[in-house]
Structure 1
């Protein structure tokens, strides 16, 4: 009996120690991977390698050979070679956590068919129906930011904003606020581990990602079933409605699992990159007040902002936004200089030549969006934030299709790029017409590139409410303290 107990205790201790050691090794490996990714994505590191070896050079990622590719013509060959020269490559953890039914994980004819189904979600008609809802979500958010007595962490709040937009507007879910907050926390755990090492051990990042996925899918299934049962009183068709109808039109009615994977992919696509770009937009408007004022002048000229300063009544329309040319230039410049993702990965399907080098079958290729933007000869003073470079007088992006590719290109160009630009434009309009904001720190934070581009401290900013003359509205307590007795 005692021997058995001792053996069990020893076995238990050994298992715990093994789990602890495995967990420590996994954390070390994740740290190593993070360091490698930072080096791969770091502009200084890569620019020095590029200067030494050219626009196509060999490096390694976790012991595997990787070809790093920069330059419009080289990137064009990669992007236009999808399905025959190269194939999309996601880490195993990403493939498993996103699910097998997603557009990102599909290839060949399956990928083409899925894109046809999903493309209607981002049609002109669909965007027009989303627009009033997006504007309301942004207006409510900016009012909340202005009501906070302290500065806010813009990057964290932008993540909450884009998550809310995806849930409320894209998917049309009527989830109670408390449940929405819990779902957001679970989703953050999911996102943090999407690019983890695929080691399914207790306490590993991958296991946490699996657990978060399971919780999310349970919540999404509940929301989907409630939504399918309650179709009365809807004033617009959301993305999930369109997805279901589009799949029926193509003769492929979606299963519940496909719907859950589809909704999770929509949230994933709308979340991190849009939050990154939104944060970059606010930072650049803070850094360049002349750009903000020029944007306000355009809004006044188009009747969106009265000369006295207050915003005009009514919702925005796509036609109105399309006429705001300087706004379009601002968004383009944000996406050029602060592209959320550095590039994309592909697996070589057959050996081919690129810039005079043989790229062997089976190797991995990374095409760099950020490096291509930084080295494109069509852009002058590439490190300067200058929206006018996209104006009619200069049109620097018109000379060459692949010099400017913040949303990728080819058959895998970002399906939601028009929705992302729409969201950023509405955010910019609301910031320019209804908000005053200022940096809450002495200096601007440095930028990190992993997992997406964002300020290291999230960007601390104080927002103020506005009266009709665009003056700062003091919080009630502050107004009372400053009143004359």
Structure 2
């Protein structure tokens, strides 16, 4: 009898401990979400905390009018205007990688690349290279401490995140003011231009603080996930040389590569990229097998039942992107990298609405998905047409999923310059070619 009583006490104690743990977990999650908002928004900002999500909000949650604004930021016309600038940034980056005699850390370098793309192309800032490098370091510190425990003590992650935000906002304000004062010589409207003009059209002229908040949100949207996908793309092209060669064949067929191998002159166009069907399949397969984030959160709008369980209205629910891709019956050999699964002969993603959702689904899918895919396509084209690269380690690195999917060591790769026939130019040869005769 005594033994049974002790068992009951032990069971009750275990249950109580579980309830306390769950309560603490929920409290900490809510505090982390509050911290994310506090770390990215100044105290003077009067925008409400978005509801229905425990993770990063999609751009536009703060107001319906912003949804309309950002639909212009990522419209077909806007993407066409960004495209030549994106291509130049990618070309400059690949030239820098190829001129480096040492192997590069691909994940770190793609982070710099996507940050540069956001600053130079999406926002149109003319920040000197030295200042841009410093701003990138501060931004990394900000991102690394976004999810720190909300304990405001000296040397805490929370304090470092807040300090990084303050430095970022100061640098962004300087860039915004310089941009507003210099409007001459612009050959396209960038995202910040569209944001400012569209907000005026809606009678919502933005304050400097709101401009800084919107700018920081745009940078964040274009940064981590795109760097993750870019790294995965390079890794898969290294692992599957037959895919890379098939992609080059398509570029030759479309006149982007000459038959001899050297790239044709001229900038890319949206309609040209749209006609590269195998390229589209490659990008889709990268995003299926290596989705940067695991899932997303939504608020239940109406009570429903799922597998015998009732999900009440108002609850926050999480959907898993990776589990969906792994278990969707439409995909065959789910662990195999096979771009042809998206080709016209198979079209595995066409059966059902929500089997393939790397950018989420429904009305709350990622607003920047078209820009992300455009960037990845440009990177793939430039890699295939102007680069030779090889793994600098004996084996491919292990993949980690936190905070976004990426190789644990960043992926060490050696890039080479190319001659007109796409043959590798070694550093010694480059020095000989540039020497004065």
**Bin of the TM-score, shorter chain as denominator length:** 0.7 to 0.9
Q: 1:184 aligns with which of 121, 136, 146?
A: 136
Give me the CA root mean square deviation: 2.6
- Residue 239, structure 1, aligned to residue 194, structure 2: no
Q: Which residue of 1 aligns with 2:26?
A: 64
Q: 2:228 aligns with which of 267, 276, 281?
A: 276
TM-superposition CA deviations, 1:269-314 (whole Å, max 9, x none): 0000000000000000000000000000000000000000000000
- Residue 213, structure 1, aligned to residue 165, structure 2: yes
Compared CA separation, residues 180 and 478, structure 1 to 2 (3 A): closer
Q: 2:326 aligns with which of 370, 374, 380?
A: 374
Contact kept in structure 2, 1:89 and 1:346, CA below 8 Å: no
Inter-partner Cα distance in structure 1 for 2:32 and 2:187: 38
Q: Which residue of 1 aligns with 2:272?
A: 320
Compared CA separation, residues 126 and 106, structure 1 to 2 (3 A): closer
Q: 1:255 aligns with which of 200, 207, 225?
A: 207
> How far 1:356 moved relative to its partner?
1.6
Contact kept in structure 2, 1:194 and 1:206, CA below 8 Å: yes
TM-superposition CA deviations, 1:174-203 (whole Å, max 9, x none): 101110000000000011111222222221
> How far 1:354 moved relative to its partner?
2.6
Compared CA separation, residues 352 and 206, structure 1 to 2 (3 A): farther
Inter-partner Cα distance in structure 1 for 2:314 and 2:369: 30
Contact kept in structure 1, 2:60 and 2:66, CA below 8 Å: no
Q: Which residue of 2 aligns with 1:453?
A: 405
Inter-partner Cα distance in structure 2 for 1:208 and 1:146: 35
- Residue 160, structure 1, aligned to residue 112, structure 2: yes
> How far 1:350 moved relative to its partner?
6.9
Q: Which 10-residue stretch deviates more, 469-478 or 233-242?
A: 469-478
Contact kept in structure 2, 1:465 and 1:472, CA below 8 Å: yes
Contact kept in structure 2, 1:95 and 1:105, CA below 8 Å: no
Q: Which residue of 1 aligns with 2:71?
A: 119
Q: 2:34 aligns with which of 74, 82, 92?
A: 92
Compared CA separation, residues 477 and 389, structure 1 to 2 (3 A): closer
Contact kept in structure 2, 1:153 and 1:459, CA below 8 Å: yes
> How far 1:89 moved relative to its partner?
11
Does 1 or 2 have the higher relative contact order (CA < 8 Å, sep 6+)? 1
Compared CA separation, residues 347 and 201, structure 1 to 2 (3 A): farther
Per the normalisation by structure 1, the TM-score is 0.79
Task: Kindly report which structure 2 residues correspond to 1:316-395, keeping only aligned pairs within 5 A, or say none.
Answer: 316-346=268-298, 352-359=304-311, 364-395=316-347
> How far 1:108 moved relative to its partner?
9.9
Inter-partner Cα distance in structure 2 for 1:342 and 1:180: 30
TM-superposition CA deviations, 1:379-432 (whole Å, max 9, x none): 000000000000001000001111100001223211100000000000000000
For structure 2, the residue ranges without an aligned partner over 5 or more in a row are 1-20, 51-55
Compared CA separation, residues 444 and 367, structure 1 to 2 (3 A): same
Inter-partner Cα distance in structure 1 for 2:286 and 2:32: 26
Inter-partner Cα distance in structure 2 for 1:108 and 1:178: 32
Inter-partner Cα distance in structure 2 for 1:354 and 1:152: 48
Inter-partner Cα distance in structure 1 for 2:113 and 2:62: 32
Inter-partner Cα distance in structure 2 for 1:109 and 1:461: 39
Q: Which residue of 2 aligns with 1:307?
A: 259
Secondary structure of the residue that 1:64 maps to in structure 2? helix
Contact kept in structure 2, 1:94 and 1:194, CA below 8 Å: yes
Contact kept in structure 2, 1:90 and 1:345, CA below 8 Å: no
Inter-partner Cα distance in structure 1 for 2:322 and 2:147: 20
Q: Which residue of 1 aligns with 2:353?
A: 401
Inter-partner Cα distance in structure 2 for 1:347 and 1:62: 21
Compared CA separation, residues 108 and 291, structure 1 to 2 (3 A): closer
Q: Which residue of 1 aligns with 2:15?
A: none
> How far 1:458 moved relative to its partner?
0.1
> How far 1:90 moved relative to its partner?
7.5
Q: Which residue of 2 aligns with 1:435?
A: 387
Inter-partner Cα distance in structure 2 for 1:61 and 1:270: 34
Inter-partner Cα distance in structure 2 for 1:309 and 1:105: 44
- Residue 417, structure 1, aligned to residue 358, structure 2: no
TM-superposition CA deviations, 1:138-164 (whole Å, max 9, x none): 000000000001100000000000000
Contact kept in structure 2, 1:270 and 1:420, CA below 8 Å: yes
Compared CA separation, residues 461 and 227, structure 1 to 2 (3 A): same
Compared CA separation, residues 399 and 348, structure 1 to 2 (3 A): closer
Inter-partner Cα distance in structure 2 for 1:303 and 1:123: 27
Contact kept in structure 2, 1:189 and 1:209, CA below 8 Å: yes
Compared CA separation, residues 362 and 120, structure 1 to 2 (3 A): closer
Q: Which 10-residue stretch deviates more, 418-427 or 108-117?
A: 108-117
TM-superposition CA deviations, 1:9-52 (whole Å, max 9, x none): xxxxxxxxxxxxxxxxxxxxxxxxxxxxxxxxxxxxxxxxxxxx
Compared CA separation, residues 350 and 321, structure 1 to 2 (3 A): closer
Q: Which residue of 2 aligns with 1:229?
A: 181
**Count of aligned pairs between the two proteins:** 403
Inter-partner Cα distance in structure 2 for 1:207 and 1:316: 44
Secondary structure of the residue that 1:462 maps to in structure 2? strand
> How far 1:462 moved relative to its partner?
0.2
